[in-house]
Amino acid sequence: MSDIQNGYPGQDMTKEFIESAMEMIKNSSQISKDRQITVDNVFQPAFTHNRDLLLKMMDYSHLPGSRIIGVENVKKLYELAQQGKSVIIMSEHLSNLDVPNMYARFYHEADPIYKEIFEKFIFVAGAKLNENDVIKVFAEMFTRVVIIPPLTTKKWEKEPEKYSNELNLAKKVNLRAIRKIIELKNKGNIFVMFPAGTRYRPWKPETKKGLKETMAYMSHFDYFCCCSINGNNMAPNESEDMAHEKVTREKIVLSFGDVIDAKQFSEDMMKQYNLTEDQKDEAKQVMVDEIMKKIQILHDSAD
């Protein structure tokens, strides 16, 4: 790969990406494991064997100017986590490379504490990431609690008789996932979740809307902050076929907002919108909408 300074925005590096991914697949002893998500494998610790190769790949795809804004807010979350508080980051979701991009940026922070902080991240991830070799080899490098996402279960609910087995499994898997989150949340970890539940696709504006179901997870935490992502080095393809997604060189900027008391946030939203305890679904949507607004403000303010 050539020197990073010689790149330009939008430069196609799909060929290099595929070559690196194939090498990672050969190196992975985990690639055939955990294809089917069950109640027994919702927690998947990081398999880091390919991390060095991944970092080189991400470095090449990140143009100069790539950085983190508000990284001190993540440090505050980390300090709270070390005090036994439960903390979560609610992040924008643009790409299947969002997590590798976070990894690269945290590992290039000047203060080495941020490498340590990143290794405390546990991502709440959809089961689909385990189904495709190329995507899985990237996903498996990071610690995850795997769920069957709401967007999937909602499709099955349209034909409940046809998908009764899948719906039954999803209920059990997601219950086990929440229990695992509760088990790990006060042990110094920082959870990361994508409240939109899918990557944003401009031709589908609804993909930017937060899912009220994600509030069932956030309700278990003491503090949170929001994260926006500017720059997309693996943009979704309108065909919805991951095989047609190009990898390009871009400036990647992560922005982390202020740390927020989750309980106080919930109380403020209930009061602001005059909601009662009987309006739980409406309250969840109001809260996730507000979180998505905060993410958008961060996104728009990043230069």
- Is 280 inside any structural domain? yes
- pLDDT of 231 > 60? The answer is yes
Question: In whole numbers, what is the pLDDT of the chain averaged over residues?
Answer: 94
Confidence of residue 133 (pLDDT cuts 50, 70, 90): confident
- Is 18 inside any structural domain? no
- pLDDT of 3 > 50? The answer is no
Q: Average pLDDT of 137-153?
A: 95
- pLDDT of 243 > 70? The answer is no
- Is 20 inside any structural domain? no
Q: Beta-carbon neighbour count of residue 282 at 10 Å?
A: 13
115: CATH:
3.40.1130.10
**DSSP collapsed to 3 states, 182-239:** HHHCCCCCEEEECCCCCCCECCEHHHHCCCHHHHHHHCCCCEEEEEEEECCCCCCCCC
Q: Give tens-digit pLDDT for 178-190.
A: 999 999 999 999 9
Question: How many structural domains comprise the chain?
Answer: 1
Separation of alpha carbons 193 and 230, rounded Å: 17
- Is 290 inside any structural domain? yes
As a residue count, the chain comes to 303
- Is 116 inside any structural domain? yes
State the burial class of residue 300 (Cβ atoms within 10 Å of its Cβ: 0-12, 13-18, 19+).
exposed
**What pTM value is reported for the model?**
0.95
- pLDDT of 5 > 60? The answer is no
80 token code pair: 């709270």
Domain that residue 257 falls in? 33-301
Separation of alpha carbons 95 and 79, rounded Å: 29
Confidence of residue 239 (pLDDT cuts 50, 70, 90): confident
- Is 120 inside any structural domain? yes
Give the pLDDT confidence score for residue 238 in this predicted structure. 84
Give the pLDDT confidence score for residue 134 in this predicted structure. 87
- Is 166 inside any structural domain? yes
Q: Average pLDDT of 123-139?
A: 91
- Is 89 inside any structural domain? yes
By percentage, how much of the chain surpasses pLDDT 90?
88
